[in-house]
Structure 1
Amino acid sequence: MQEKYKRSENEIMQNWSSKEPILTIICITYNHKDFITRAIEGFLEQETNFAFEIFIHDDCSDDGTKEIIESYATKYPNIIKAFYEEENQYKKGANGRYFFGELSKMARKYIALCEGDDYWNDSKKLQLQVDFLENNPKFVITYHSCSIIDCNDNIVDFSINDWAKFDYRDGKGYDMQRLHLCLPLRCVVYRNVIDFLEPNLMQYAKKIKNADTFLWILLGEYGDVKYIKEIKPAFYRIHIGGVWSMVDEKEKHKMHTNSFYNMAEYFSIKGDVNLASYFLSLSMYYLSCASSVDKMQYSDFTRIPKSILGHKSVYGGGYIHILTSWCYFSATLQVFEKYKRAA
């Protein structure tokens, strides 16, 4: 059993230069009673010279998670703010609201993310990430490495995970916009710069299944990304109740198809033809994977750019010219070749 309340509220706040938070930790949780204590303790272990706050959003848990959150919110009233849903929002398709809804609107200058079944393993994490962002205004997001564990905290064999192949490195905004970097959600701290009042943003954010991916893409417009190798890995947990880790491959392909199609539609309305065509091509790729990946031939798939080139699609009541180049499509072909090798 994870030890609770290891530090008092006064001990956490004693080195803060101001009582006004500059960073918000957003934690989304659902039926994580066996894991949520470790996640919260990881937040409270953070040693910083700045004030931070913790938003914990419980998506209508019915296993005792809510009661654990309530006990922490009572013990740390100046740090923890709890939000409880009366109906499960994820099951209603409201995934995007976690990243683009009221919690982010209320958040401070910086945002850190961690779900209730994952946890941090470095008490200096937030200080290092915020220090870098404070001193490097051209960067919009920082991240660090991540390890995968099971429900008993055992390290999972990396040979069966794509995460073992992560290319941890710095990147440009362009890299995030085209998914050349994969950022582990529980490892990021980013500037709270997205304009939530932008027309159409929430309309599409609510539809997108892979909302964290959409978040990285949007942040790419505002700056570059920094990998901080000095921070110890956070832990991403695979377990039977995991929202993403337990989804089968075909369903993941369907979710990607949905997400990339809505991203294409969003960017087409914004007038960004390059990103619209790029994500439309990715959507078509994952649609093919979901429908008949075992029958799909590489030669069939290479014809997709020709079918898109010069194609007119109706988005938001207006026509736009979708132009997909081989340059933008190369990333998709690399993914396909990787899939073939793994099959």
Structure 2
Amino acid sequence: MASLKEDIVIQLQRISTICKLKAPVVVVWCMTYNHANYIKDALDGFVTQIASFPFIVIVHDDASSDKTSEIVREYGEKYPDIISPIIETENQYSKSDGSLDYIMKAAIKATGAKYIAMCEGDDYWTDPLKLQKQVDFLEANPEYGMIYTKIQRFYQASGKLKEIWGGNHESFSDLLRENTIPTLSVLIIRDIFIDYQKEIKPEIRDWKMGDYPLWLYVSAKSRIKFLSKVTGVYRVLEQSASHNVNRIASIDFGLNYRKIAYFFAMKYGDIQDCLLTRNNLAWIQYIHHVYIGNVYLAKKISKHYLISKQNSIMKNVFFLVGLFSVCLVRKLYDKLS
């Protein structure tokens, strides 16, 4: 990875200086890019937090081409004790060289905060006591490394708030089966986050999501608490990777998701965790081969996993049908999903 540009180093030094005086208990990391239409909701959710402890919000604008950076600067000037901007002049995400992760780690380290919260620039918090409730719990229960809550989904295309999502999984084994943790709802102990970065080295992995591996690591190393309260809103945009209307892209995203679960099961899980995650991975690999037209590999997986004890009835039906007609499997999957 290339060294940090001088202007970013200066901005990080400024954050470090502020935090030496302020000694924040929580650092909130907000990543934003071309969120001019949404970022005010996120920023308002931060500055309206009511807390008995100091906290700082680092808003990293990745060289937006709209007015996002102007809005972030405006809030930074209006709320200098809370909002600390990092404004890029060159997009870091497009480099794919680990720069974004490095800047995030450097910024979080510079704060010295005990806890980390996260909220992207197109999402927002609605509970002004979110941080207070979560810090209170973790302070009183040191065996826990993370706490999360429910959120509500807002569908941008229709302009409607719809289903409530989040919870209630708290164990490693449950999270291997299904990720029920909304990123914007989380508060995590910073030392565990740092240990994760050192031990797992996510920047060298071909993972399309940064949150799910972290949740699995935390649940393997400590306890996780689910708080059954709605504290924020997740904005569903058509271009989001996890909501891609393109079927192949959606399947590939699911394939990456199951590879992550299998990786952590092999590293920290028991034999049942390994068997189940391997079965789930084989299932999505099977669907992947069905959709790209690789009949040989699809039928090979069908033959091998048709007798698996981890299969649901639906999987057995699909594997059985796949031995005779991969095209029919695709039609059935389209109809049911």
- TM normalised by structure 2 equals 0.72
Please give the alpha-carbon distance, in whole angstroms, between the structure 2 residues aligned to 1:199 and 1:136.
24
Paired AA for residue 235 in structure 1: V
Structure 2 CA distance, aligned partners of 1:278 and 1:86?
A: 45
- Is structure 2 residue 140 aligned with structure 1 residue 135? yes
CA contact (8 A) 1:99 1:215 kept: no
Aligned to 1:97: 101
Aligned to 2:71: 68
Q: Match for 2:252 among 254, 266, 277?
A: 254
Verify the 8 A CA contact 2:157 2:237 in the aligned structure 1. Answer: no
> 1:153, 1:106 → 2: CA distance?
40
User: In 2 relative to 1, CA 326–139 (structure 1 residues): closer, same or farther, beyond 3 Å?
Assistant: farther
For the 8 Å contact 1:264–1:279, the answer to whether it is kept is: yes
Residue 160 of structure 2 corresponds to residue 155 of structure 1: yes
Matched, 1:40 2:43: yes
Alpha-carbon deviations, 1:37-63, whole Å to 9, x = none?
110110111000011110111122101
Query: Counterpart of 1:221 in 2: which secondary structure?
Result: helix
Distance across 2 between alignment mates of 1:249 and 1:234: 29
Alignment-derived partner of residue 114 in structure 2 = 109
Structure 2 regions of 5+ residues with no counterpart? 1-20, 320-331
Specify every segment of 5 or more residues in structure 1 that has no aligned partner in the other structure, as ranges.
1-17, 159-163, 308-324
Residues 204 and 262 of structure 1 are in contact (CA less than 8 Å); yes or no, is this contact kept in structure 2? Answer: no
- Aligned-residue offset at 1:202: 3.7
Alignment-derived partner of residue 55 in structure 1:
58
TM-score normalised by structure 1 residue count: 0.70
Equivalent residue runs for 1:214-253 within 5 Å: 214-229=213-228, 231-240=229-238, 242=240, 244-246=242-244, 248-253=246-251
Q: 1:120 to 1:167 in 2, by over 3 A?
A: closer
Q: Within 5 Å, which residues of 2 pair with 1:165-204?
A: 166=165, 168-169=167-168, 171-176=170-175, 178-192=176-190, 193-194=192-193, 195-196=195-196, 198-199=198-199, 201-204=201-204
Does the alignment pair 1:78 with 2:66? no
Alignment deviations for residues 113-149 of structure 1 (CA, whole Å, 9 cap, x no partner): 1111111111111111111111112222211111111
* Alpha carbons 1:173, 1:223 under 8 Å: kept: no
Distance change >3 Å, CA 262–CA 122, structure 1 → 2:
closer
SS state of the match for residue 91, structure 2? coil
Asked whether the 8 Å contact 1:96–1:209 carries over to 2, the reply is no
CA RMSD, 1 decimal = 4.0
Which amino acid is the alignment partner of residue 255 of structure 2? T
